[in-house]
């Protein structure tokens, strides 16, 4: 059964832009290089990181439209797939034909459940699977999944191997430096995952799980991992501007960068990290927000989309300089008609 779903969208590429001032040509040229992740061709080295509750098909498609070489899905429960939960199987595995290559991130602590979930992901048409071994959220860690696997390396290897065998796809693992500050257990696990589970790459977030997403990432540790790992390292953490991504990419020698929070409401960051200076006008930002609203409606229907989009509005509205009153009204809007009506007023401001 294929869960691929065609949807009417406009996957037009970002418009051509001037080169980004101050970007080092050698770094940009390297980031623009095509490469292979496992046996999957990836057009460049600027990727969308997994974002729970956010990285659905249209957010990934948006990333690809603005230049990302590959987008990774929000984390998907291996148990949900294994037991056939309808929302997990139909909504979270929905892949748009224009977003390939795409990686679906799975989480879970049980190798046999992971094997069966990975097979479903392959059936759905994903090109790669990523396994989450970095999530610090208690709800996930207490089940033995996410960052808990860093402290359970034998199980972690079995989970990754099962995903590879169950899907026949290249598997990457995204993990942290350790679960607590000062640890390097994530580095040790990365080596075992490559040597013993045959994973095709490691997404490395050089912050301990205990730090969640706060504090300075340890790029020196990432550089040490890159130097010693016989597989590509995909760097994540603190890459919220083109300058930050360029510096960290150069400092660590990583194979690619995974952009996360910097892209929320600003998919133009992909183009910037690739060396362009897109400088979106207020009208372009507004049009992108409209695109997101339309896609969410298509994906979830109007009632659920109205609630789902509440977290998206502030990302775009802050960039448009919208008043706090308008941002507040949007976040409290009950229907898409109401939200679109509120935005209608903003269009006048943006165009003025």
Ligand X SMILES: Cc1cc2nc3c(=O)[nH]c(=O)nc-3n(C[C@H](O)[C@H](O)[C@H](O)COP(=O)(O)O)c2cc1C
Residues of this chain that bind ligand X (CB under 6 A): 49-52, 74-75, 105, 132, 134-135, 174, 205, 213, 236-240, 260-262
Catalytic choice (135, 149, 199, 330): 135
Nearer Cβ to ligand X (258/285): 258
Residues 6+ apart with CB under 8 A from 119: 166, 167
Measured CA to CA, the distance from residue 250 to residue 259 in angstroms comes to: 15
Q: Distance (Å, rounded) from C-alpha 37 to C-alpha 108?
A: 23
Q: How far apart are CA 158 and CA 115, in angstroms?
A: 10
Residue whose CB is less far from ligand X, 171 or 342: 171
Question: Which of residues 75 and 157 has its CB atom nearest to ligand X in the complex?
Answer: 75
DSSP H stretches of helix in the chain: 25-31, 57-65, 78-82, 86, 111-124, 138-141, 153-167, 185-197, 219-228, 242-252, 268-273, 282-308, 313-319, 324-331, 336-351
Least CB distance to ligand X at residue 208 (A): 13
CB-wise, 192 or 261, nearer to ligand X?
261
The count of other CB atoms within 10 Å of the CB of residue 14 is 17
Q: Is 135 a catalytic residue?
A: yes
Considering the complex, state which of residue 48 and residue 342 has its C-beta at the smaller distance from ligand X. Answer: 48
**Least distance to ligand X from the beta carbon of 240, Å?**
5
C-beta separation of 32 from 274 below 8 A: yes
Location of structure tokens 């990754």? 160
User: Would you please indicate which residues are annotated as catalytic (active-site) residues?
Assistant: 135
């Amino acid at each position: 059964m294929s869960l691929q779903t065609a949807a009417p969208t406009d996957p037009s590429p970002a418009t051509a832009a001037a080169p980004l001032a101050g970007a080092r040509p050698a770094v940009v040229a390297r980031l623009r290089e095509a490469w292979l992740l496992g046996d999957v061709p990836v057009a460049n080295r600027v990727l969308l990181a997994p974002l729970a509750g956010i990285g659905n098909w249209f957010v990934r498609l948006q990333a690809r439209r603005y230049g990302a070489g590959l987008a990774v899905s929000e984390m998907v429960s291996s148990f949900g797939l294994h037991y056939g939960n309808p929302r997990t199987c139909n909504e979270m595995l929905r892949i748009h034909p224009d977003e390939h290559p795409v990686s679906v991130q799975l989480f879970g602590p049980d190798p046999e459940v992971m094997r069966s979930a990975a097979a479903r992901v392959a059936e759905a048409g994903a090109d790669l699977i990523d396994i989450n071994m970095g999530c610090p959220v208690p709800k996930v860690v207490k089940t033995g999944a996410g960052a808990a696997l860093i402290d359970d390396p034998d199980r972690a290897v079995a989970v990754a191997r099962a995903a590879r065998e169950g899907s026949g796809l290249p598997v990457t693992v995204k993990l942290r430096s350790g679960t607590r500050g000062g640890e390097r257990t994530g580095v040790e696990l990365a080596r075992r995952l490559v040597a013993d589970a045959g994973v095709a790459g490691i997404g490395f977030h050089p912050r301990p799980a205990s730090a969640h997403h706060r504090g300075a990432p340890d790029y020196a540790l990432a550089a040490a991992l890159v130097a010693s790992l016989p597989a590509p390292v995909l760097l994540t953490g603190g890459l919220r501007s083109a300058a930050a991504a360029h510096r960290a990419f150069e400092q660590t020698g990583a194979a690619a960068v995974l952009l996360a929070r910097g892209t929320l409401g600003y998919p133009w960051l992909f183009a910037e990290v690739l060396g362009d200076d897109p400088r979106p006008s207020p009208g372009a930002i507004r049009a992108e927000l409209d695109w997101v609203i339309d896609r969410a409606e298509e994906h979830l229907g109007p009632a659920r989309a109205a609630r789902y989009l509440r977290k998206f509005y502030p990302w775009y509205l802050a960039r448009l300089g919208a008043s706090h009153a308008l941002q507040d009204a949007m976040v409290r809007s009950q229907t898409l008609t109401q939200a679109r009506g509120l935005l209608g007023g903003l269009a006048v401001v943006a165009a003025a």
